[in-house]
Structure 1
């Protein structure tokens, strides 16, 4: 069955997705429950649950990086370490996204954690519903580098739905594995393996039920 047929078959799917998007935005670490800057959504799903978001943040950048159900949908492997192999290259998401000419409306998904000349900064990054696996690691690595995660001020908020026993434990394990992998790539002598500890001590790492 096609994904778009599955979505159409489920009554209320888009309403539920739209409501979920609202809850994700409201669960940031901003004191009043709402971001004080622009909102950018990097969506790995193939649907567009954006009605509430467009009403609340008309200038929000909405990026379905791997396409939409009614258009070209991109599947593939992570590009890290594979972009110089001409046999593997066509199967990477990096190649397929670039080949599709799918751009980012604002020109960037993330900004430095300090407000720059353009007045923009990334105060928090909110995750939900992603496996945090290596399949999309290139995206995480790029965003973390842009905000200078180790030395910057950006907070990471990992949200999960408690739909079964052990969900929180599983989410915490995935978060720590992601941060450990990224931290080990930084090459900071004596500090590359303490990224998660640093973020926790600075109040910049949250794992929360939505």
Structure 2
């Protein structure tokens, strides 16, 4: 088996898995999901106009909310979801590169899309994301674009208590994930600014962790 054949085989198997996974999700969606997503969006945006970057494959129920742009960064169920790894540290000519989210997203970028990140944005809200390293490149790009150290950008990390018996554990996990994300981003500054980034955001009231019912 040649190296090229091996990577072609893995890529084809990944495509098969994505198709099966997408079908599974389609069969799992029901009216209660749509109702819940509508209620949740209302709480998150507080009736304000927003742009939504979704890491889910489902389309949020937004009929009664005011939005500018909604984008499913990893694809939708109707055009097969994509699964990939973070591209950090992987060169473009590596055979592994086509398994990265960067490459996979390029396969969906055939049409011109609305601008998702206008400079007018003052608040970036997060909800339902683990903030895991697999998606770190997205967060770094957004933080860089808005220059969160110097600009008046507020980061709000929402979380829900889905199990009352584990409330403290859920809170600690959320706080730890946010701390790791901001601290890791701080290391990209290569100067003393990165070391006090979290303190600066907290002192200026621009880093908020908020429970949502």
| Structure 1 length-normalised TM | 0.82
Q: 5+ unaligned residues in a row in structure 1: which ranges?
A: 27-33, 113-120
**For the Cα contact (< 8 Å) 1:42–1:64, is it kept in 2?**
yes
**1:51: Cα distance to partner?**
2.6
Residue number among 68, 91, 113 corresponding to 1:105 in the alignment: 113
Which residue in 1 is equivalent to 2:29?
7
**For the Cα contact (< 8 Å) 1:61–1:105, is it kept in 2?**
no
Residue number among 87, 95, 98 corresponding to 1:90 in the alignment: 98
Secondary structure of residue in 1 paired with 2:29: helix
Q: 5+ unaligned residues in a row in structure 2: which ranges?
A: 1-20
From the superposition, tell whether residues 74 and 182 of structure 1 become closer, same or farther in structure 2 (CA, over 3 Å). Answer: same
**1:103: Cα distance to partner?**
5.8
Residue number among 29, 53, 56 corresponding to 2:65 in the alignment: 56
* Higher normalized helix content (fraction of residues): 2
In 2, Cα distance between equivalents of 1:185 and 1:123 = 22
**1:85: Cα distance to partner?**
4.5
From the superposition, tell whether residues 104 and 204 of structure 1 become closer, same or farther in structure 2 (CA, over 3 Å). Answer: farther
From the superposition, tell whether residues 103 and 161 of structure 1 become closer, same or farther in structure 2 (CA, over 3 Å). Answer: farther
Question: How many residues of Structure 1 are paired with residues of Structure 2 in the alignment?
Answer: 186
Residue number among 69, 72, 77 corresponding to 2:77 in the alignment: 69
| Structure 2 length-normalised TM | 0.81
Larger radius of gyration: 2
